[in-house]
């Protein structure tokens, strides 16, 4: 058990970024500890998950969900320990999946929490491979991408929590897998993960290498990046190709439409002439129908050593802004987590 805390540290949205977010857009502050009301639980954050979708929440525009208000705590999934509980289902010392955002302590109704069993899997995986990013990969690949045995599946940001799961699940399903990442260190790791081809999108030969690596074209491209990788993938897509679109991180900091020519009609024309399926999604769409099978399949694959995952843990909430900015340009290497407080299970 920890000493009784007296104050809370948190990161607020101070102003909306124009283009790349900076330290000025976020503000660290110390406030008094919140008190749990009826049915509520006081939680201490152990891990804060940093994910690309948070960039969209900083804008005052419709994205997946409502924006974070100016002066409000930045949103985010967390793994936390129960400190004090007014919900009979939770006791101090329990570990829970929660959505406290960027703060060291927080209060949530017990009904919003899911208890975690540290004996089953490391608790950090609840916001990673066994949580939202893993489920995004699982549902998007299997329900939209629908890879068949022998088909070719390509994914970018392939060392990240979504991309690495996409590639490994595709491999388990019998596909040939093409992983794309930035830099030689990440490319080396893609080979450890078992990708059939590992490509560096930063090399000038990337387009040529992608062509050589996909002699039978690409049947499924799991889109989480956009930009130059998508431009290189498009000519390789086969008739009836499927493109689950789960993110476009390379565009999130754009402040205006890029210069022309306008290639939007050309994109529609490619969709038409190749009979492509391009399908945007958020994982929440599939929770009711597929979350249970995801938990079973994914735990099994991890246990059997068929699915590896990598965490990039940065210490201290005060370092969250810098780590977050870096993630938007691919500086993280694996699932990015902020260690906000000690993990008693490690």
- What is the distance between the alpha carbons of residues 270 and 235, in angstroms, rounded to a whole number? 9
**Residue 280 interacting with its own copies (CB under 8 A):** yes
| Burial readout 131-152 (b: 16 or more C-beta within 10 A, e: otherwise) | bbbbbbbbbbbbebbebeeebb
Residue 63 beta carbon to its own copies: minimum distance, rounded to whole angstroms: 5
**Residue 268 interacting with its own copies (CB under 8 A):** yes
Per CB under 8 A, the list member of 185, 254, 296, 322 interacting with its own copies is 254
Residue 297: φ, ψ to 5°: -60, -50
**Of the two residues 84 and 285, which places its CB atom closer to its own copies in the complex?**
285
**Residue 259 interacting with its own copies (CB under 8 A):** yes
Per CB under 8 A, the list member of 114, 115, 120, 263 interacting with its own copies is 263
- What is the distance between the alpha carbons of residues 156 and 217, in angstroms, rounded to a whole number? 16
The one segment of 58-66, 91-99, 123-131, 170-178 that binds its own copies by CB under 8 A: 58-66
Site for its own copies in 218-237 (CB under 8 A): 223, 226-227, 230
**Residue 62 interacting with its own copies (CB under 8 A):** yes
**Of the two residues 195 and 286, which places its CB atom closer to its own copies in the complex?**
286
Note whether 130 and 161 are within 8 A (CB).
no
- What is the distance between the alpha carbons of residues 142 and 148, in angstroms, rounded to a whole number? 10
Per CB under 8 A, the list member of 84, 87, 196, 285 interacting with its own copies is 285
Note whether 121 and 299 are within 8 A (CB).
yes
Note whether 82 and 43 are within 8 A (CB).
yes
Per CB under 8 A, the list member of 14, 172, 228, 271 interacting with its own copies is 271
The one segment of 145-153, 240-248, 287-295, 310-318 that binds its own copies by CB under 8 A: 240-248
The strand pairing partners of 339, in sequence order, are 47, 315
Q: Which two tokens stand for residue 227?
A: 């930009």
Q: Is 264 exposed, middle or buried (0-12, 13-18, 19+ CB in 10 A)?
A: exposed
- What is the distance between the alpha carbons of residues 287 and 130, in angstroms, rounded to a whole number? 13
**Residue 329 interacting with its own copies (CB under 8 A):** no
Q: Is 44 exposed, middle or buried (0-12, 13-18, 19+ CB in 10 A)?
A: buried
**Residue 267 interacting with its own copies (CB under 8 A):** yes
Residue 197 beta carbon to its own copies: minimum distance, rounded to whole angstroms: 24
**Residue 238 interacting with its own copies (CB under 8 A):** no
**Residue 29 interacting with its own copies (CB under 8 A):** no
Residue ranges in contact with its own copies by CB under 8 A: 56, 62-64, 223, 226-227, 230, 240, 245-248, 251, 254, 256-269, 271-282, 285
């Amino acid at each position: 058990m920890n000493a009784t805390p007296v104050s809370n540290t948190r990161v607020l949205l101070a102003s909306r970024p124009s283009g790349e977010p900076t330290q000025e857009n976020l503000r660290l502050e110390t406030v008094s500890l919140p008190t749990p009301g009826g049915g509520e639980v006081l939680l201490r954050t152990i891990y804060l998950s940093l994910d690309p979708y948070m960039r969209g929440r900083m804008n005052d525009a419709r994205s997946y969900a409502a924006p974070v208000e100016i002066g409000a705590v930045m949103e985010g999934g967390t793994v936390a320990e129960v400190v004090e509980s007014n919900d009979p289902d939770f006791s101090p010392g329990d570990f829970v999946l929660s959505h406290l955002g960027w703060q060291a302590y927080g209060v949530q109704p017990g009904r919003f929490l899911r208890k975690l069993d540290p004996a089953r899997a490391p608790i950090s995986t609840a916001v990673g491979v066994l949580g939202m990013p893993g489920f995004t990969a699982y549902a998007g690949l299997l329900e939209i991408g629908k890879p068949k045995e022998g088909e070719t599946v390509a994914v970018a940001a392939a060392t990240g929590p979504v991309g690495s799961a996409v590639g490994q699940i595709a491999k388990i399903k019998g596909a040939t897998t093409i992983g794309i990442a930035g830099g030689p260190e990440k490319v080396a790791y893609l080979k450890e993960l078992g990708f059939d081809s590992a490509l560096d999108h930063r090399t000038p030969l990337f387009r040529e290498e992608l062509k050589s690596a996909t002699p039978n074209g690409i049947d499924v491209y799991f889109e989480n990046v956009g930009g130059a990788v998508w431009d290189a993938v498009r000519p390789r897509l086969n008739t009836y190709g499927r493109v689950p679109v789960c993110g476009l991180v390379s565009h999130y900091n754009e402040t205006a439409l890029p210069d022309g020519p306008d290639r939007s009609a050309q994109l529609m024309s490619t969709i038409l002439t190749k009979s492509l399926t391009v399908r945007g999604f958020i994982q929440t769409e599939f929770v009711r129908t597929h979350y249970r099978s995801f938990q079973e399949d994914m735990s099994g694959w991890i246990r059997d050593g068929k699915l590896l995952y990598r965490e990039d843990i940065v210490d201290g909430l005060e370092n969250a802004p810098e780590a977050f900015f870096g993630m938007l340009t691919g500086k993280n290497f694996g699932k990015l987590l902020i260690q906000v407080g000690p993990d008693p299970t490690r």
